A = this chain, B = another copy of it.
């Protein structure tokens, strides 16, 4: 019971510039996954007839199910119909009924159909027409030597409406497998630390897959499981692996439902009906921004201070001048005083503070670029951590914000589990 081999071929020269992404394939992937179908390759080509034909020929050699998106428009550089027709050696046939539908669409908007749209009424011999209620170019469904080829227009609303109304039902029942995905997100561990903690858990059977994805301060584990029997069986398989991963990784796991760290922190604060205030130096507002990005954050986010200058740390947060004089603005002592100070000043349950050297300048031998102190204070205690982050200014800022939010997350989880 092999999984169906699916390839998405996106057509459009704009997709080969620095300015545009193919987003249709994300939508198609989500919908295909729901039907138990996995995508094995995505190919993006320009509008040139020859490249397009070559890419389609290759896709047809590999895949059982091919989606070709884009290039069905009325202009000269829309060549998908012709290219597929030529590779399949099936001629294009003009369909009077489709032309009338297109003409009527223009008429309803008080316009006359431009001559260029005429070619959208051409159909590859033997194809089923997938009417397009959101635009002029119909989709095409072609069954060819046990393979299925689906041509869909590029504009997302048109592609999606054709998929929802006509492709999904045609595919349902053809799936040979059920596919389930789970995502675990962790923070506070490096990729290699995660790797060594989960050693031996890489599944050996092809029905389960595990992928690790690293970004600054966050490692994600993506689990997928197939079953030829039922969705429930695929879920059981995925859950077994996910819970073993969770057991090994322990408190480093902050989410198993795709939520990001600021959402999890917000959920914990809301559940405990507690509030937070933030004092930032080197992150310059990023921690506040992440917390307040979340709808409803005004109930738990009390206030934030971006205090670069020493005097601001003293005046706004009540950091003692002698603390900064004795230990420096980038020191555990100052971080602690900032966290305690902002908590007090803002009247919040928790105070967060970040102070460090984000770079590119300002580093010394003793306090290099990337040195960051994070602190979390509640009424009883203040937790401190120092880190030496690598990377450019933005990367140091990203990792610092992740660090302090993760400290608060762990603090809240520990308190909640007591």
Chain B residue with the shortest CB-CB distance to A278: B306
Contact B286 A289 (CB under 8 A): yes
Q: Give the residues in chain B near A383, CB-CB below 8 Å.
A: none
Contact A77 B304 (CB under 8 A): no
Contact A360 B295 (CB under 8 A): yes
Q: Give the residues in chain B near A23, CB-CB below 8 Å.
A: 21
Q: Give the residues in chain B near A293, CB-CB below 8 Å.
A: 284, 393-394, 397
Q: Report which of B111, B291, B390 forms a contact with A109, defined as CB distance below 8 A.
A: B390
Q: Is A297 an interface residue (CB 8 A)?
A: yes
Q: Give the residues in chain B near A21, CB-CB below 8 Å.
A: 21, 23, 26
Q: Give the residues in chain B near A191, CB-CB below 8 Å.
A: 73-75
Contact B157 A395 (CB under 8 A): yes
Q: Report which of B39, B77, B134 forms a contact with A390, defined as CB distance below 8 A.
A: B134
Contact A391 B192 (CB under 8 A): no
Q: Is A100 an interface residue (CB 8 A)?
A: no
Determine, out of A121-129, A307-315, A320-328, the stretch whose residues face the partner at the interface. A307-315
Chain B residue with the shortest CB-CB distance to A116: B195
Contact A213 B14 (CB under 8 A): yes
Knowing A51-B41, A195-B74, the reply to whether A213 touches B20 (Cβ < 8 A) is: yes
Q: Is A411 an interface residue (CB 8 A)?
A: no
Chain B residue with the shortest CB-CB distance to A43: B43
Given contact pairs A74-B191, A115-B196, enumerate 7 new A-B contacts (beta carbons under 8 Å).
A14-B211, A40-B51, A77-B210, A134-B390, A155-B214, A298-B362, A306-B306
Nearest CB of chain B from residue A54's CB, rounded to whole Å: 7
Q: Give the residues in chain B near A183, CB-CB below 8 Å.
A: 19
Interface centre among A181, A212, A287, A391 (most CB of B within 10 A): A212
- Give the oligomeric copy count: 2
Knowing A293-B394, A296-B361, the reply to whether A305 touches B302 (Cβ < 8 A) is: no
Q: Give the residues in chain B near A75, CB-CB below 8 Å.
A: 191, 195, 212
Q: Give the residues in chain B near A220, CB-CB below 8 Å.
A: 14, 19
A-side binding surface: helix, strand, loop or mixed? Answer: mixed
Knowing A21-B21, A26-B21, the reply to whether A303 touches B303 (Cβ < 8 A) is: no
Closest 7 CB pairs of A and B: A284-B292, A285-B288, A304-B306, A18-B30, A285-B285, A285-B289, A114-B192
Expressed in whole angstroms, the Cα–Cα distance for A305 and B12 within the complex equals 40
Q: Report which of B16, B110, B111 forms a contact with A40, defined as CB distance below 8 A.
A: B16
Which residues on A are within 8 Å of B, measured CB to CB?
A: 12-21, 23, 26-27, 29-30, 33, 38-47, 51, 54-55, 58, 62, 73-77, 108-111, 113-117, 134, 155, 157, 181, 183, 190-193, 195-196, 202, 209-215, 220, 222, 258, 278, 280, 283-289, 291-293, 295-298, 301-309, 312, 316, 346, 359-362, 388, 390-395, 397
Q: Give the residues in chain B near A195, CB-CB below 8 Å.
A: 74-75, 114, 116
Nearest CB of chain B from residue A277's CB, rounded to whole Å: 9
Chain B residue with the shortest CB-CB distance to A13: B211
Expressed in whole angstroms, the Cα–Cα distance for A348 and B287 within the complex equals 23
Contact B285 A286 (CB under 8 A): yes
Chain B residue with the shortest CB-CB distance to A181: B17
Nearest CB of chain B from residue A339's CB, rounded to whole Å: 16
Contact B359 A391 (CB under 8 A): no
Contact B209 A13 (CB under 8 A): yes
Nearest CB of chain B from residue A180's CB, rounded to whole Å: 12
